[in-house]
Structure 1
């Protein structure tokens, strides 16, 4: 469950950062935030397995 919360918070944070930086919201920003959050979630899961 913590992996999902972590990935969702990365998604929201990355999306907010992009919106503040570019002053607009488009599908490319949403998709890039989603990809980054999936990568972060997988990395968090792998760290959880290793440690």
Structure 2
């Protein structure tokens, strides 16, 4: 009965070039989206010169 069970790991095909491109594109897009959200949440303070005479 134990001889009937096959516990060997299945063959995992390697990624194609297009799958790799898609993977990295989604990764960089996520970083870009996070920077856009942070730019909205954490605005850069601007210093304005005011002449009060």
Q: Report the TM-score, using the length of structure 1 for normalisation.
A: 0.49
What's the TM-score, normalizing by structure 2?
0.47
| Structure with max Cα Rg | 2
